[in-house]
Amino acid sequence: MPELLLASRSPYRRQLLERLNLTFTCTAPEVDETPAPGETPEALARRLAHMKARALAPTEAHDLLIIGSDQVATLDGEQCLGKPGDHQRAVEQLRAASGKVVTFYTGLCIYDARTGTDETRCESVRAHFRPLTDTQIEQYLRQETPYDCAGAFKVEGLGICLFERLEGDDPNALIGLPLIQLTEMLQKAGLDPLLMPTASR
């Protein structure tokens, strides 16, 4: 049975992957995340996921599957939204998103070190934000402090109240790891979460 490595230190991706009851380790790759000239948000998410998985590839054949993932958010199809990092930038992001649509592109790649091959996909989710007042934004940010989250919210928490609706095949992609697509890709690689014993943690 191949080992599983998540190419990320994100606590949110780790928590998502833990839902599949698989034993895995986490390592953060060193990857330049600068967009290429003219690169679309979807292409950027795909490329970064691929680069993160490949960055940790062993030099020799190894019984290992590496999961790489990255997320790019766009406002009305134009502006890229990253992690705000602090309160003021988070306020600015939520003000800009108020009453508008933010599309999240989550790239996903599995590198199979046994064969030296990989598969890359991208899942998109359109988040329709409610019109938000400054008071609502301030109260929300004070309660959840989502400064390390793209778009300045945590959909798995109180952040769900920011939206009128979500459009997409997998809500987990909004958090950072599309588990429906990942399950299919792992099954193709011979690792079926439904047939594995419960991982010990």
Given a contact cutoff of 8 angstroms between Cβ atoms, the answer to whether 3 and 27 are in contact is no
What are the structural domain ranges in the chain? 3-195
The span from the CA of 187 to the CA of 179, in Å, is 12
Residue of 32, 70, 118, 192 marked active site: 70
pLDDT of residue 4 exceeding 90, the answer is yes
Question: Can you give the pTM of this predicted structure?
Answer: 0.91
pLDDT the model gives residue 196: 82
70 annotated active-site = yes
pLDDT of residue 33 exceeding 60, the answer is yes
pLDDT in tens, 93-108: 999 999 999 999 999 9
Contacts of residue 173, defined as CB under 8 A and 6 or more positions apart, other chains included, come to: 71, 104, 106, 123, 124, 125, 181
Residue 94: burial class (beta carbons within 10 Å; 0-12, 13-18, 19+): buried
Give percent of the chain with pLDDT exceeding 70.
Answer: 97
pLDDT the model gives residue 59: 79
Alpha helices in the chain (DSSP H): 11-18, 41-55, 87-97, 134-144, 172-175, 179-188
Amino acid letter for position 142 = R
More confident residue, 195 or 77: 195
pLDDT the model gives residue 122: 97
Nearest to 110 by CA among 199, 22, 41: 22
pLDDT in tens, 109-149: 999 999 999 999 999 999 999 999 999 999 999 999 999 99
**Fold of the 3-195 domain:** Maf protein (3.90.950)
pLDDT the model gives residue 81: 80
pLDDT of residue 200 exceeding 50, the answer is no
